[in-house]
Structure 1
């Protein structure tokens, strides 16, 4: 059975990205569509899987330069596995750091909500400011 071939519009819907974005990724060398005998670009299921993986990397905060480097190393084969691991570990650490920072920011927002709620239901003294309230959690 022949592989399903997606024209750019179909592929765009399949991966939930605009045709403009797909062309940009193509120009940046992240994806390489094939061409049919009429010169029209098409994509296959492997392209769907590859792009979804790239979007996971992008979702970690990986920059375009890092994505391009990863793609270049991947194209060079197994000789670059150590470089890819090093890059992925750094990206992973950066993403984990961002998650911790976001969790800390959310904790402050939750405390602020609780403080406001306490002011409304009078479970917090009227003269207690937010800074004093936060000291309870140190």
Structure 2
């Protein structure tokens, strides 16, 4: 017997509000099943699909591109080239985001190291953070 999840249970699995699931439904990203009383329910296949959608969303893929992907997927294997191209474009953008995040992390780490150096006497009181970065050959 197939497990059936209510919208409340399904939304809790993903830490999403039920209204978000309804939005995804309105956008055609998910398609819940319906009981005879029209109450929504979801299955384990829907859980797997939602996980994948959220992976794509968390790479920065736009709702518009998610909708394209879903539409192409529904059309069958003949759209694999389009889906592949979209995923490759998403990967390029995501790698750039990762690069930017790594830069932000480096600045955060540099600032922490600068403060630690200031507090333990390894960095002169007169050395500014900007000069410290120059000495490390880092950019702001």
Question: How would you bin the TM-score normalised by the shorter chain?
Answer: over 0.9
Per-residue CA deviation, residues 28-82 of structure 1 (Å, 9 max, x unaligned), is: 1000112122222221110010011100100111111111111011111111111
Corresponding residue number in structure 2 for 1:60:
59
Q: Contact 1:35 / 1:42 at 8 angstroms: preserved in 2?
A: yes
- Equivalenced residue count is 137
Return the alpha-carbon distance in structure 2 between the equivalents of residues 9 and 109 of structure 1.
39
Give the superposed CA RMSD: 1.2
Corresponding residue number in structure 1 for 2:134:
135
Q: Contact 1:15 / 1:48 at 8 angstroms: preserved in 2?
A: no
User: Runs of 5+ in structure 2 lacking a partner?
Assistant: none
1:64-75 matches, cutoff 5 A: 64-75=63-74
Q: Contact 1:115 / 1:133 at 8 angstroms: preserved in 2?
A: yes
User: Runs of 5+ in structure 1 lacking a partner?
Assistant: none
How far did residue 16 of structure 1 move? 2.7
Corresponding residue number in structure 2 for 1:51:
50
Corresponding residue number in structure 1 for 2:105:
106
Superposition TM-score, scaled by structure 2 size: 0.91
